[in-house]
Homo-oligomer: A and B are copies of this chain.
Amino acid sequence: MTSRDIDVVGIGNALVDVLSHEADGFVEAQGLVKGSMTLIDAARALELYEAMAAGTEVSGGSAANTMVGVASLGGSAAYIGKVRDDQLGDIFVHDIRALGVEFDVSRAVNGDPTGRCMILVTPDGQRTMNTYLGASVTLTPDDVDPALVARARAVYLEGYLWDPPQAKDAMRKAAALCDDDQIVSLTLSDSFCVERHHDSFLDLIATHVDLLFANEHELAALTREHDDINTAVASARELVELAAITRGAAGSIVVTPDDTIVVPASPVAHRIDTTGAGDLYAAGFLYGLTHGHDLATCGALGSLAAAEVIGHIGPRPETDLAELAAPLLSGRAGRVP
């Protein structure tokens, strides 16, 4: 039997975030849908950047944020994603390693620069993302090391990565490498992303996915049940063994074949920036699941991690999540490390 010494391996678009505070009017003037993610090319990235306010740069990338969250909770995590050998790539690699996540994917030495996500944070704390994928699209199946995947209890696939064809193959390879006792999880990432790839997502879920993460908009896009969350949840139950549906301030719903567990959101004193909230929910949930906690606890850990990241600018925890989670986990049964 293979030794599973990593809790979760995440695969996703490796990005550096450029965050700026903008008025609602700016988002509108730029023709953007508040709260969504838009893929942009290099020319549009330049145009938008020139129009944006002064920014703060922090490492991001959805699955990368999730892996950082797993590590912050005290779990072990590894990441697969692609950056270039440029300054933003230096920042990405430094930060993910400094946060305790194993990262050994070779860097692109030519082609597009490291990808970035321009995130407009409006006064309501909502974020509107504009992603220039750059080098992250050059991830290929060769970057997925079977030995690394074999060490993981769970694999976490980022729906955003379904856009570039080679990267899609890399995700499929990672999923196919998994044994029956490994958890293959997928996050749908964005409702527009689900619309773009509807059938192939359904196919991936049917073939490989054990655990699905989605917010209610993404779930509606996947199940084509837009009117009633309960119908959408029932539909999800047919598609996958386990699903965790996030609903913002309304918390989340954990869906199993026989059960529907409603998990409240954790209180957030000041909603500063929701960037990374979904990513960190997945981190808490995956940490719980790979540490033998019951599903209600997994959901509660997701709520806790999401609340931390909403309370400040940037998509990665600023507080030690293991410390924050200690009162919650005290006395609850879990896997002995």
Residue of B nearest to A20 (CB): B98
Does A224 have its Cβ within 8 Å of any Cβ on chain B?
no
Separation of A314 and B96 alpha carbons in the complex (Å): 21
Residues in B with CB closer than 8 Å to A55 are 58, 91, 94-95, 98
Summarize A's interface: helix, strand, loop or mixed: mixed
Identical copies of this chain, number:
2
Q: Is the CB of A54 within 8 A of B88?
A: no
Residues in B with CB closer than 8 Å to A23 are none
Question: In the complex, which of the residues A54, A59, A99 has the most CB atoms of chain B within 10 Å of its own CB atom?
Answer: A54
Residue of B nearest to A68 (CB): B54
Q: Is the CB of B54 within 8 A of A57?
A: no
- Looking at the complex, which of A45-53, A154-162, A192-200, A303-311 is the stretch in contact with chain B? A45-53
A329 smallest CB distance to B (angstroms): 24
Q: 8 Å CB contacts to B: which residues of A308-337?
A: 314, 316, 318
Q: Is the CB of A52 within 8 A of B98?
A: yes
Residues in B with CB closer than 8 Å to A87 are 86-88, 113-114
A166 smallest CB distance to B (angstroms): 24
Residue of B nearest to A96 (CB): B54
Separation of A113 and B87 alpha carbons in the complex (Å): 9
16 other contacts beyond A49-B94, A53-B99, A54-B96, with CB at 8 A cut-off?
A: A21-B318, A50-B94, A52-B94, A52-B98, A54-B94, A54-B98, A55-B91, A55-B94, A55-B95, A56-B57, A56-B58, A57-B91, A86-B86, A86-B87, A87-B88, A87-B114
